[in-house]
Amino acid sequence: MAPPGIAFERSRSGLKGTYPSGMAARGKSGQRIEPSFGGVDSDDDDLRVEASDRVSGSARRPARGKSESGKRKARGKRGSQRGSGSGGGFFGLVRRLAYWCIVLGIWGAIGIGGLVLYYGARMPSATSWSIPDRPPNVKILSVSGDIIANRGATGGEALSLENMSPYIPQAVIAIEDRRFYSHFGVDPLGLARAMLTNLTTGRMVQGGSTLTQQLAKNLFLSPERTLERKVQEVLLALWLEQKYSKDQILAMYLNRVFFGSNAYGVEAASRRYFNKSARDVNLGEAAVLAGLLKAPSRLSPARDPDAAEERAQVVLGAMREEGFVTDAEIKTAMSQTPTKAKSFWSGAEHYVADMVMDQLPGMIGEINQDLVIDTTIDLTLEKKAEEAISATLDAEGGKLNASQAALVSIDGTGAIRALVGGRDYAESQFDRASKAKRQPGSAFKPFVYAAALEIGRTPMSVRNDAPVRIGNWTPENYDQKYRGEVTLADALANSLNTIAAALVMEVGPQNVVKLAHRLGIDSEMQANASIALGTSEVSLVELTSSYAPFMNGGFKATPHVIRRISTADGTVLYENTYDNPPRVLDPAIVSEMNQMMVRVLTDGTGKKARIKGWEAAGKTGTTQSFRDALFVGFTSNLTTGVWFGNDDGKSMKKVTGGGLPAKAWHDFMTAAHEGLSPSPLFGTTGVQPMFDNGGAVAGPGTLPDGFATANPDAFPEPPASVDGTAAIEQVRPASGESAGPIPPAGVGETTGATRRTTLFELLTGG
């Protein structure tokens, strides 16, 4: 400290002193100027020297050493004070960083709280929140109770966790939300991990949303990605966690999430990709399902099986890390053949499901709850029918230019036991059995002969097969030959056009049409002479059901596929057993017709349809230029109709009703009757043939009075053809038409369009 009376001020060259009068100062020459103090002892001399040294910057050597040591200590002390006081050094940097982190954290919390309050205030009151009802599902069952299909917006019923394969929830948790059972609806650790990964890679690699958040988004929010939606998603997730258990949340998620290919929920996805219930999927299949959640459309096995399998391997690895499965189970799952699914639902039973869905609104009105539909379909017969059609087309369809076929089989009550609407449902969902209307050709002739029997003709009535003229129309036989005197039984067996046309004129076209309507033909028909050769269009279902009265003894067999409609709790909304059908044919007429149609298979055009050990009857049909070929026949057990042709109406290569249709009919009916005891057709045993008019033969080319000179316009001449039928416009699927059900876009579905990833999405994990 400076002596009293000395004041210092800082200058560029150092410290400059201002001295009071009487004190010594050093001159320019460096000589010391001694002041006169009086009464100062030796200690005072030392003090004086030190003070002088500090002022002048020079000192004696002993005193200098002491002064430098003291100054170093002073500088060290001052440096220490600066380090602690001004925040310098590493620890100071850490303290400053911690301080600002706390400040920013507080302001961030205030900002987030404000956003939550703001966007939360825009939402309805939490007391009004409720889980929206799952879209109603229609479960369609076979006659034995097996599931044919699930239809509705979701395409599958809801299953509890206990009822689905345990691998499914394990796989989903392992790959989507490993801390699902420990977080409170939002996973800060998972969000932080996703943020770091996404920022590091610069793109969306991981999602930070929990399963609860995903469920909240799917249930309540739009798919747009905004800050407001994210805040609302978090609030809803917290609400879900408070209101429902973890198992309930997981079950709701698995039953509603989109799995690609129009499948919503694990049951729909399992049946779509594996053709089995979610109850029965194995480890590898569960991994495929869980893998789809990342990108349902892109990773669908129906679109890219390799990508789906690659993603499944990642899921299996995650399951192993979580301890859900062992290495041995992983090895077994990885050795399984990768799943390959068709681009659409496959299996002929889906034609049946479409028919059911078409009929439901007319029976119960709007579908607003889960329904269970009991049908008449026998799934075993359905599979056999599909196999028969596919095998015939695969073997001969290509070389004979036949690309499509249909089959329907019904019992004596009209219950449809099997229906195949086309070659492959996955490729075309148009139902050619029930929706397509085409000319039946000679397959319509049994109605003509039955009408003739009703006015007194018999199977043994004789007519002359010779050229006949009806107005301006002169029908010809398919081989352009004439056989002279023939019985009606022979004429039907050999499908003679001249005799059928003559019978129409004897009976009257309007009476033939009335009988056909009475037996089950619903389509409008033209009452003219050419009706004998099947020129009016009908569907295969109505044509086949109209043959059933010949099988069951003369009762109408109204075709139906729905037996009962019930709610999920068992309440019956509709039921019809069709157990009191009206009689439409006299048993004697049935007996005579059956005897005649048996000969079609034994001696006539339908020989390829014969079934070993079983008595069967039926009729072939072929339309103009081989555009359509049919065979409709029956045993005492089933009536079955088969059609072959092309959707575009192109001609086949000389395919007749006795060719491919008769072969497919034989294959199906043989398989359908395996293990059953043969029984004869109604009225074919113990019945003696009868003659009308003493067996008189009508004159060559003659018809009842008036018909030969009738108005030509009443009997238009059909173009020449195999069966003499006319080529008129037929109902066929439009080019590219897909009549199958396409569930509307719903939760989780993507459009597949490329979209840029934003910084907000990187931070929030989507």
Q: Judge whether 580 lies within some domain.
A: yes
Residue where a domain stops, chosen among 657, 673, 689: 673
Beta strand segments in 300-450, E? 371-375, 404-410, 416-420, 437-438
Whether 29 has a pLDDT exceeding 60, the answer reads no
CB 561 within 8 A of CB 418: no
Residue where a domain stops, chosen among 617, 645, 673: 673
Nearest-angstrom CA–CA distance, 609 and 281: 41
**What's the whole-number mean pLDDT along residues 141-147?**
95
Which of residues 406 and 109 earns the better pLDDT score? 406
* Residue bearing tokens 């602690």: 84
Which of residues 71 and 156 earns the better pLDDT score? 156
Residues in the chain, total: 766
pLDDT given at position 290: 96
- Cα angle 388, 393, 396 (rounded to 5 degrees) comes to 120
Catalytic residue among 176, 267, 506, 592: 176
Whether 728 has a pLDDT exceeding 60, the answer reads no
Q: Dig out the tokens for 456 from the structure.
A: 């007194």
Please state, in angstroms and as integers, the Cα–Cα distance from residue 66 to each residue in 50, 63, 167, 574, following that order.
Answer: 10, 5, 86, 117
Q: Dig out the tokens for 309 from the structure.
A: 């399998």
Q: Judge whether 521 lies within some domain.
A: yes
CATH number of the domain where residue 250 is located: 1.10.3810.10
Q: Are residues 322 and 422 in the same domain?
A: no
**What's the whole-number mean pLDDT along residues 503-509?**
94
Nearest-angstrom CA–CA distance, 367 and 268: 19
Please state, in angstroms and as integers, the Cα–Cα distance from residue 88 to each residue in 42, 53, 94, 95, 177, following that order.
Answer: 45, 34, 10, 10, 45
Whether 231 has a pLDDT exceeding 60, the answer reads yes
Residues sharing a CB contact under 8 Å with residue 550, sequence separation 6 or more, in sequence order: 446, 585, 590, 593, 594, 597, 617, 634, 639, 682
Q: Are residues 203 and 320 in the same domain?
A: yes
Residue 546, judged by CB atoms within 10 A of its CB (0-12, 13-18, 19+), counts as: buried
Q: Are residues 666 and 523 in the same domain?
A: yes
Q: Judge whether 759 lies within some domain.
A: no
Q: Judge whether 8 lies within some domain.
A: no
CB 300 within 8 A of CB 338: no
**What's the whole-number mean pLDDT along residues 281-300?**
94
**Side-chain half-sphere of 690: how many Cα atoms within 13 Å?**
13
Would you say the C-alpha torsion 362, 368, 374, 376 has a positive or negative sign?
A: positive
Whether 638 has a pLDDT exceeding 80, the answer reads yes
Phi, psi dihedral angles at 147 (to 5 degrees): -75, 125
pTM: 0.74
User: Considering just the CA atoms, what is the radius of gyration of the chain in Å?
Assistant: 47
Lowest-confidence pick of 19-23, 543-547, 584-588, 653-657 = 19-23
At residue 708, the 3 state secondary structure works out as coil
How do residues 743-759 score in pLDDT, each as one tens digit?
332 233 333 334 444 43
Q: Are residues 326 and 419 in the same domain?
A: no
pLDDT given at position 620: 97
Q: Judge whether 74 lies within some domain.
A: no
Q: Which residue range forms the structural domain that includes residue 469?
A: 411-673
Q: Judge whether 483 lies within some domain.
A: yes
Please state, in angstroms and as integers, the Cα–Cα distance from residue 452 to each residue in 98, 205, 461, following that order.
Answer: 106, 78, 10
Q: Are residues 309 and 433 in the same domain?
A: no
pLDDT given at position 116: 64
Q: Judge whether 734 lies within some domain.
A: no
Residue where a domain stops, chosen among 611, 644, 673: 673
CATH number of the domain where residue 466 is located: 3.40.710.10
Whether 514 has a pLDDT exceeding 60, the answer reads yes
How many structural domains is the chain composed of? 2
Q: Dig out the tokens for 412 from the structure.
A: 């004596």
Whether 430 has a pLDDT exceeding 80, the answer reads yes
Q: Are residues 303 and 427 in the same domain?
A: no
How do residues 54-81 score in pLDDT, each as one tens digit?
333 444 444 444 445 555 555 545 544 4
pLDDT given at position 585: 96
Q: Which residues of 55-80 are buried (b: 16+ CB within 10 A; e: fewer)?
A: beeebeeeeeeeeeeeeeeeeeeeee
Catalytic residue among 442, 461, 495, 536: 442
Nearest-angstrom CA–CA distance, 256 and 253: 5
**Which amino acid would we find at residue 476?**
E
Whether 710 has a pLDDT exceeding 50, the answer reads no
Phi, psi dihedral angles at 391 (to 5 degrees): -65, -40
Nearest-angstrom CA–CA distance, 51 and 575: 123
**What's the whole-number mean pLDDT along residues 38-61?**
40
Q: Are residues 327 and 428 in the same domain?
A: no
Q: Are residues 161 and 306 in the same domain?
A: yes
Q: Judge whether 592 lies within some domain.
A: yes
442 labelled catalytic: yes
Q: Are residues 315 and 419 in the same domain?
A: no
Q: Are residues 415 and 324 in the same domain?
A: no
pLDDT given at position 423: 96
**Which amino acid would we find at residue 722?**
V
CB 464 within 8 A of CB 698: yes
